[in-house]
Structure 1
């Protein structure tokens, strides 16, 4: 078994992954740093797609892509002509609301469509898998960090391959993959018996590594954060856990009776 592939074969997507994507609200952002880190678990955006009709068109195709398991070639073939028709393709001038300046920027392109496709598919898969992990944790309480099919891997991710930790270990809240742009790492859920068998081989680690933290300043928002080394800034969160927590909070607020302030 491997993580989700995105090349030539349609990928069956679990219902949990689709529900995760559909629960997101739409948020406009000029730069990918405007909607940051955990916000991506509850808000859907495409940098420099500043018109709602463009955002909704892309979202509709991403939804269809996730539901039907489209390959990237199918996704691009259907979406590119629509974006060209809407005027969101190639280079163009766009107002940056933060600086008030009009800049020449890259709008739609094959490379941007690839990023939209990969990021949304992998995060939806990760969030959907986390929901299943929480449901089946009683019988399969451990997770194994696995490398994906990338040609090259980040050195830190290579060092994490083969780590076995309980599913409720805090390490998974920041290190549940994907852990950066283009990261194809994934996790495998296993039983206690398999965890013991693998650990007995001496080829697996059973302690969470601590590589230290790196400070990052989001130049768009001014926010200063500390990110675990080996994880790209903005990727140090578990999309499924964040989404579930936000949904639980929403339901709690909806159940609370309105107070009479008169």
Structure 2
């Protein structure tokens, strides 16, 4: 659905899901819960568990890059980033569920369990293996750059400018390559929307420098979902792509689920 662009880095190593057997059983329960809902089944146990799984997994990515051992750790910022992860997780689960529900009927008739399960498990591979791994790596990279940005600010009297560095190899996207070597002051508005990563799997980096600023900014605009500087926005994700497939009521429901999740863990 949304990770079609070629990754600019090497193939990511698989992020092993903890207790994979337990997760497989959770998915089995989840898709059966969705299937049973067509006949009025009211349980939401597996739905809440999958939401919590997304949140826990991505929160681990946040903790890899930004945690209480960080020199510039800010507890309020960390909480805001976790709140954003909760919202992302709720939209992801709601989007997954909505797509599964679209598989329940064909020609106004409920499909057999075996057919529904087959399609559901195929979607699970996409959503909960491929996509979730990419989202985890993105969370780690973004969290790392929260710490980096705070160090930039602390040293800005010595190194007032930032330099964009792209990786030069066959996997680098041309749109990212055009930014290579760009130098701008740390307080330039460019960095509000273009702190790395600027796409899924982006390997580009930003470093601090006292070199003179560039005279020209290349013609480049990040995609809306990647216009972000997490240290400033207090968000891991820019626009949340899963939100795009939900209607207004579904969005409100997802937001309520995210709020309840945060309350439960507080």
Normalising to structure 1: TM-score of the pair? 0.46
Bigger relative contact order, structure 1 or 2 (CA pairs below 8 A, ≥6 apart): 2
Higher helix fraction (1 or 2): 2
